Chains A and B, each alone.
Chain A
């Protein structure tokens, strides 16, 4: 077994220490060299000095690290930076225009859609992505499609209300479903 591993190691192509990539982050082009195993989350937080995106679990299970890549929401902790070479990345820091908050950010303030705020950047990015995906129309659909973003403080009613508010109008009361 060890020998087989050693053989594999010998024949595997050498991975360069640093790989050059370019990303457009919050509208600004960034060129840099990154280690192949650097996650997009660590790149944003540690290299690009954008700590707004949070690390909750580092496993793709809490949603705190959600950012938008080419307009779609992803867990940046599960994404290697090199995989997104050439993409456009929007983080929580890139949503506002000057001092004017993005409508989703404003809705979160208006609805008190946070307590400790640690999940909030991920929730907001996820909500912005959700709306641009165009799938959510009802409260039930929002609940479903936001279920990848944990809020341990349990601000869900207000988070969902904020998203509903941005979607426009109040969602129709949904039918109660059988869990069966």
Chain B
């Protein structure tokens, strides 16, 4: 099955039943065809990095980690490790031939700690041995002596100490202080939300193969091959051109393979360079969870003024993130949190401040949504509290604050045209999920039950699409058309399950008017497409699809001109469709046309390049248009809580999501469902817990609970919005879908808050930090009870 071109034969099933119609070939843009690796996924033939056959002589890497959160390294003696059986190399920072720092944007991430360790788990020494067991055993022989330094572990400690990885930023619209003073009602408070481990099912891995003349080929499970290439070159002290990084597919990434794989790949490459042998570094799961960054946890402080309708008059919000020991991507993550502190609501007078706290913990990093979810949770929490204060249904307060005509400017001064769309989505969902009827039924249920309480919440999502670092919004592709009519597709996007390869291939097939089976998808390689941006920010298909389309169009145009001239027909009469090329009255099979072009010396290969138009961002002024467009959605979730134990179960979820005109509705539907499930995990039971020494104690799925099939709402209804083409000129008028649906799960978190509020008859504020673990839900219930809401507690 591995040798089938493109797609294996599949029986039409429930997801793939859309009839492509007689005029279209299977796999055109818009068809819900299966993932390009479908047949290989189910047969076990899909090759991930760990499945690449190992060359003879391959060594295995292991890394000695810092056991201290913050300490000076007084002594590091690796001599016994170097003599251990099977060991070929032991490296410390002093052995790195090039630069030691591999910080992706700002410095601060040494590949191996030079004199100072700044978090528990930091790489101190790297070992290559003939077996993973020998490498691990050798690590135990390394003698290290540390002198502890004071460690800052939490956001509160960092705020107190003024410890930051970068300067703060404030975004302003209107006059928040005056508006707060003038508002009829005011609330203030604070709450916290936790981070999240990516737990990509395929852990971090790299396989480095030394080549001639000191060149290095590295198979890396990475969303950002170009950066991995650049950083390997940097640590080896060689030009980028001497290093090639390749990735066919990842077993999940979720942002955790944007900057983090550099450490793994650089260590593999350093060891390969030192030994002249291939080196594989496959992190154990526990090491992966301890050593690599996670979603940022945040502390939120707010003060909000509003009217009796709950309409926000003025708001001030501080978002403080735990960034860990280095900047990594935290600057941009916190910016994106700030950009989403409005979610779908018009904040006429807003001051939003983002703080980047430096702590002696692992450096937090990109995770699906990249800070956006945290900003969105912040404002949704505030809106929910406003509703509680007024005794109104939170949905009504959300509606009152929604963007709309005349209320359409963000706190970073980008106009929002999506108010009507957001209103339409909420109208649709309110009706289709029977929100009002269910609200009444839930009220009745809650009145009749003392211990069990139900909660319901309906929340919108408005998520900005584009990298906020403007220069990253560019992409390249390389398309080869062979004389037999087969097409090889290379682009800078990386496949992590989100289906970017399938969608880009569909776009290219459509451009040539051929079936998808003619398009051969290649592994992503820095040797084919250079200087790529990470596959991140949901931009994979938007950027790489557009670049690939341009390459395909270039080749098609050359063929059109040639065929027109060759047959003395007008160029307008040349058409590529249904696997043929029409020229005037003639038709040629596509392969025939390609061959004809080839023998007439027409160049059938092209590179394509795309950069996103219209966007700009002036960070010093904190204003601009950082986003090309917004992707929107809405979700309603219902939960049942046992208020005696805090345990709960999500009963039903209704999701409605806007993908524009989807390039592949089957794949997009999967992204929406999967995003929601992952978001629900983050906000409900995925809890990261560090002890007082800065050690992560939840470093395996035994202690860190990942959602299982059991945790998905039993009644799960998901729809994509129909007939809503992107108003911007994005490929196929689609909208990016990787991250936005994760935030649909905020409705689940607020449903929990709603159920807790029911304990007090919805008349009291509810403090509920995220993740809303059963323990926190129980404590929140107790707090509401203590407010005397339900009268003296009389037991069940």
Residues of A with Cβ closer than 8 Å to B?
Answer: 45, 49-59, 61-62, 64, 91-93, 95-96, 99, 101, 105-112, 114-121, 124, 139-140, 142-144, 146-161, 165, 174, 176-180
Contact = CB atoms under 8 A, between A and B. Distances in A.
Interface of B: 1, 8, 10-16, 34-35, 37-48, 50-51, 53, 198-203, 249-254, 284-285, 451-452, 496-499, 640-642, 644-645, 647-649, 651, 666-667, 669-671, 673-678, 700-702, 706-710, 712, 714, 716, 718
A152 B706 contact: yes
Contacts of B43: 52, 92-93, 95-96, 101, 105
B201 A152 contact: yes
Contact of B284 (A51, A58, A106, A159): A58
A156 B11 contact: no
B15 A115 contact: no
Contact of A153 (B53, B666, B674): B674
A165 to B, nearest CB: 7
12 contacts: A108-B41, A109-B10, A115-B35, A115-B252, A115-B670, A115-B674, A116-B202, A116-B497, A143-B714, A153-B674, A161-B14, A178-B642
B716 A115 contact: no
Given A110-B10, A115-B498, A147-B708, A152 B41 contact: no
Contacts of A116: 200-202, 249-253, 496-497
Contacts of A152: 198-201, 252, 254, 678, 706
Contact of A117 (B12, B37, B199): B37
Contact of B11 (A51, A106, A158, A176): A106
A179 B13 contact: no
Contacts of B651: 176
A119 to B, nearest CB: 5
Contacts of A119: 201, 251
Contacts of B1: 96, 99
Nearest to A94: B44
Contact of A179 (B201, B648, B709): B648
Going nearest first, the 8 A-B pairs with the smallest beta carbon separation are A52-B44, A110-B13, A116-B497, A118-B251, A154-B677, A117-B41, A154-B674, A115-B497
Contact of B44 (A55, A121, A174): A121
B647 A158 contact: no
Contacts of A161: 14
Given A59-B285, A92-B44, A105-B43, A111 B709 contact: no
Contacts of B48: 54, 118
A55 B50 contact: yes
Nearest to B638: A176
Given A112-B670, A150-B201, A180-B642, 15 more contacts: A45-B50, A51-B47, A58-B284, A62-B701, A116-B200, A116-B201, A116-B250, A118-B201, A150-B199, A150-B701, A151-B201, A156-B707, A159-B709, A178-B452, A180-B644
Contacts of A62: 201, 701, 706
Given A56-B285, A107-B13, A112-B34, A154 B640 contact: no
Q: Which of B10, B43, B706, B707 has the most CB of A within 10 A?
A: B43
B727 to A, nearest CB: 28
Contact of B201 (A64, A106, A140): A64
A140 B710 CA distance: 8
Nearest to A175: B714
Given A112-B667, A143-B709, A101 B42 contact: yes
Contacts of A91: 44
Nearest to B16: A110
Contacts of A180: 451-452, 642, 644-645, 647
Nearest to B33: A112
Contacts of B702: 59, 61
A116 to B, nearest CB: 3
Contact of B50 (A51, A92, A107, A157): A51
Nearest to A174: B714
Contacts of B201: 54, 56, 62, 64, 116, 118-119, 150-153
Nearest to A142: B709
B739 to A, nearest CB: 13
B527 to A, nearest CB: 24
A109 B33 CA distance: 10
Among the interface residues A96, A108, A110, A143, which one has the most CB atoms of the partner chain B within 10 A?
A: A110
B40 A117 contact: yes
Given A61-B701, A153-B252, A110 B14 contact: yes
A93 B707 CA distance: 27
Contact of B670 (A99, A118, A155): A155
B675 A154 contact: yes
Nearest to B742: A154
B674 A111 contact: no
Most buried by B among A57, A64, A148: A57
Contact of A109 (B34, B496, B499, B718): B34
Contact of A178 (B44, B640, B671): B640
B202 A165 contact: no
Nearest to A51: B51
A168 B50 CA distance: 36
B306 to A, nearest CB: 35
A142 B709 CA distance: 9
A158 B700 contact: no
Contacts of B203: 56
Nearest to B640: A179
A91 B40 CA distance: 14
A68 to B, nearest CB: 13
A157 B716 contact: yes
Nearest to B40: A117
Contacts of B640: 176, 178-179
A176 B639 CA distance: 11
Contacts of B39: 101, 109
Residue among A53, A61, A64, A117 with the highest chain B CB neighbour number at 10 A: A117
A59 to B, nearest CB: 6
* Residue of B285, B497, B677 with highest tally of chain A CB at under 10 A: B497
B285 A57 contact: yes
Nearest to A121: B44
B42 A120 contact: yes
Nearest to B669: A112
A174 to B, nearest CB: 7
B34 A53 contact: no
B669 to A, nearest CB: 8
Nearest to B681: A154
A7 B48 CA distance: 46
A116 B49 CA distance: 13
Nearest to B646: A179
Nearest to B710: A147
A53 B35 CA distance: 20
A146 B708 CA distance: 8
A15 B295 CA distance: 46
Nearest to A177: B649
Contact of B41 (A99, A114, A139): A114
B15 A110 contact: yes
B700 A143 contact: no
Contacts of A115: 35, 252, 497-499, 670-671, 674
A118 B674 contact: no
Contact of A111 (B14, B44, B251, B498): B14
Contacts of B200: 116, 118, 152
B498 to A, nearest CB: 7
Contacts of B50: 45, 51, 55
Contacts of A54: 48, 201-202, 251
A171 to B, nearest CB: 11
B700 A157 contact: no
B708 A150 contact: yes
A122 B311 CA distance: 50
A117 B497 contact: yes
A177 to B, nearest CB: 7
